[in-house]
Amino acid sequence: MTAELNAVVFRPKKIRRVAWACAIGLVAVFTVVGLLLGNTPTGVIFRTSDQVAMIVLGVLLAGGVLLLTRPRVTADASGVDVRNVVTSHHFDWNDVLSISFPDGAAWARLELPEDEYISVMAVQAVDREYAVKSVRALRELHKAAQN
């Protein structure tokens, strides 16, 4: 990629597929269990509200799993925006010392002054070649901004 790019956006690949599959599975399982609650021979009486609550619980759990699809990094000539599962940060390139991917790390990180860093969960080791391309593109934008 060249430094003349206006903006780049990276999102994790594998975790998004896995999270969606798990979310769909959770909703399906909790729906089936919720629908079957009324037909139990144990003598326990499950009402319609119990069945609905079970389905809603599955939807809520699926929503929690889908939070893993939220990470995204957007970078352009002026800076970088990092959105992780819960937090979001914006950094000007002047505030970023480097982009690293330490050995054994699950995701890349932005090295900041005073030995601080911010994880970039959108660039994950499990995405292999995509992660390499993402880090290279971010480094190229960072290098271009420093000149």
Whole-model pTM: value is: 0.80
> Residue 45 gets which letter from DSSP?
-
Which class for 85: exposed (0-12), middle (13-18), buried (19 or more C-beta within 10 A)?
exposed
Residue whose C-alpha is closest to residue 102's, from 93, 112, 111, 115 = 111
| Cα-based distances in Å from 42 to 31, 33, 34, 37, 142 | 20, 15, 16, 11, 65
> Residue 129, Cα to own-chain centre: how many angstroms?
18
Residue type, 39: N
| Cα-based distances in Å from 9 to 26, 46, 77, 85 | 29, 48, 13, 16
Q: Which pLDDT band, with edges at 50, 70 and 90, does 61 fall under?
A: very high
pLDDT tens, residue by residue, 19-38: 999 999 999 999 999 988 87
pLDDT tens, residue by residue, 71-108: 999 999 999 999 999 999 999 999 999 999 999 999 99
> Residue 128 gets which letter from DSSP?
T
Q: Which pLDDT band, with edges at 50, 70 and 90, does 44 fall under?
A: confident
